[in-house]
Amino acid sequence: MNADPVAFFRSVASSHERCCWLDGGGAREWSGRRSLVGWLAPEDVSLTYDAAARLVTRHANGRAEVVGDDPFVVLEAELAAGSPTDQWFGYFGYACRPDLPASYGSGLPDAVWMRPSQVRLFDHEVLGHFTRFSGTAEAQKFRDTRSTGYPWDAPSTYATAFQQVQEQLHAGNSYEVNLTYRMATQSDLDPVTAYLRLRELNPAPYAGFVQHDVPGARAWLLSSSPERYALVGADRTLETKPIKGTTPRGATVAEDEELRRQLASDPKTRAENLMIVDLLRNDLSMVCEPGTVEVPTLMDVESYESVHQLVSTVRGRLRPEVTTVQALRALFPAGSMTGAPKLRTMQVIEDVEETPRGPYAGAFGWISADGRADLGVVIRSLMTAGDGRYLLGTGGGITVRSDVDGEWAESHWKAERLLAALASWSGDDDG
């Protein structure tokens, strides 16, 4: 459809308490050329999950009913009971597997899934600006590190957590830990306006918006994620694209190419990426047919508005008895957001991180009753309960070769576009 998707999205969000926009089509060659706006009528069903209480709640017609204690199990039951053409849209937060260690209590639902009865698709062209050089500020700070040290000194809370992680690494309890933290900021921007600014500043293949404005379960997720969590195709091929390794874009073509080359060849970064690839090969082997798990792309550099990323692809074919939701649960949470080995490293994360991750580090996208699905990892995203307080998570993989100030600086590069989207604004708001 050729109508303006932005104007249409504004109209839908202003008139429907529950809606979504999957907006990332065309950001990469592999991400498609369609975006989707969906909205729910009062009688349509949505699900939310509270990890602290371990309760899944079903919302419809203004009523809320507790229907289970595992959001994956409840969502699968809803898919089985509905129409073969049903599609669900939403997110699983980091603490959505009750059998795995994770802190909870972010103030937002740990999962939101919605089944809209109304969906509108928009076709669009692949936009050329996804490869332009706009990382000047980030690149300047990166250059400064070579002559004057890192532009930010790690605060004591982060330095303490970093040291605790190093102790676990040296003790052999983990090979790599994804150490993250949360930032909170106040903004007078409403979530719709904030998202429209974010999509201009940081376009990404898993850009999208979730609005669940329901009393007791309010959540807005504003995603600009570049990372694929899982794609399940009609042929039951399962694919994930973990990201490990980030560097800012250069201010010139020459500098940009040099930063790209350094990322691709850095031994520490390559080791981080390889460890996560091995973890995901193991995860996929638990649900895929023997002999089908492969790594068609190892450590390719993908370039975005503000950063280069080192990305690998792991792929396999699901076993006949494994459903899509079961496969998504088996992979959850994304290995790139935990470290390796997954269970022991999640225990380390629970001990050292000061705040719960909430939706951050989970998975966001769509799941269809016909078995297809496409979800991104919840990174480079803003979250709010609609009260003017926005949360974001950031961080990175820590190995024995990591430097505390360097890791802290990288976490800021990843967060800058999110904070810029919420900065004070005057004049016409065009992003």
Q: Which sequence spans correspond to the domains of the chain?
A: 5-422
Predicted pLDDT at 249: 86
pLDDT at 403 over 80: yes
Lowest mean pLDDT among 144-158, 282-296, 362-376: 144-158
pLDDT at 143 over 50: no
Q: Which structure tokens are listed for 404?
A: 């505390």
**pLDDT, tens digit (0-9, with 9 covering 90-100), for 159-179:** 999 999 999 999 999 999 999
Active-site position among 76, 176, 227, 407: 227
β-pair type (294-303, 243-248) = unpaired
> Which letter, b or e, does each residue of 29-59 get, where b requires 16 or more Cβ atoms within 10 Å of its Cβ?
eebbeebbbbbbeeebbbbbbbbeeeebbbb
Q: Left, alpha or beta for 406 (phi > 0: left; psi -120 to 50: alpha)? A: alpha
pLDDT at 140 over 50: no
- Residues facing 364 on adjacent strands: 91, 376
The stretch 348-377 carries a mean pLDDT of: 97
pLDDT at 421 over 60: yes
Active-site position among 141, 244, 342, 414: 244
Q: Which structure tokens are listed for 374?
A: 């496409």
Catalytic residue flag (residue 227): yes
Q: What percent of the chain has pLDDT over 90?
A: 79
**pLDDT, tens digit (0-9, with 9 covering 90-100), for 98-129:** 999 999 999 999 999 999 999 999 876 644 43
Q: What percent of the chain has pLDDT over 70?
A: 89
Catalytic residue flag (residue 268): no
**pLDDT, tens digit (0-9, with 9 covering 90-100), for 19-41:** 999 987 555 565 566 789 999 99
69: Cα separation from own chain's centroid: 23
3-state secondary structure the chain: CCCCHHHHHHHHHHHCCEEEEECCCCCCHHHCCEEEEEECCCCCCEEEEECCCCEEEEEECCEEEEEECCHHHHHHHHHHHCCCCCEEEEEECCCCCCCCCCCCCCCCCCEEEECCCEEEEEECCCCHHHHCCCCHHHHHHHHHHHHHCCCCCCCHHHHHHHHHHHHHHHCCCCCEEEEEEEEEEECCCCHHHHHHHHHHHCCCCEEEEEEECCCCCCEEEEEEECCEEEEECCCCEEEEECEEEEEECCCCHHHHHHHHHHHHHCHHHHHHHHHHHHHHHHHHHCCECCCCCEEEEEEEEEECCCEEEEEEEEEEEECCCCCHHHHHHHHCCCHHHCEECHHHHHHHHHHHCCCCCCCCCCEEEEEECCCCEEEEECCCEEEECCCCEEEEEEEEEECCCCCHHHHHHHHHHHHHHHHHHHCCCCCCCCC
pLDDT at 132 over 70: no
58: Cα separation from own chain's centroid: 24
Q: Which structure tokens are listed for 306?
A: 């503000």
Distance separating alpha carbons of residues 335 and 345, to the nearest angstrom: 10
CATH number of 5-422: 3.60.120.10
3-state secondary structure 17-50: CEEEEECCCCCCHHHCCEEEEEECCCCCCEEEEE
Lowest mean pLDDT among 5-14, 137-146, 164-173: 137-146
**pLDDT, tens digit (0-9, with 9 covering 90-100), for 50-59:** 999 999 999 9
Predicted pLDDT at 34: 74
Predicted pLDDT at 203: 85
The stretch 276-289 carries a mean pLDDT of: 97
Predicted pLDDT at 307: 83
Distance separating alpha carbons of residues 16 and 35, to the nearest angstrom: 19
Which residue from 380, 55, 327 is spatially nearest to 221, judged by alpha carbons? 380
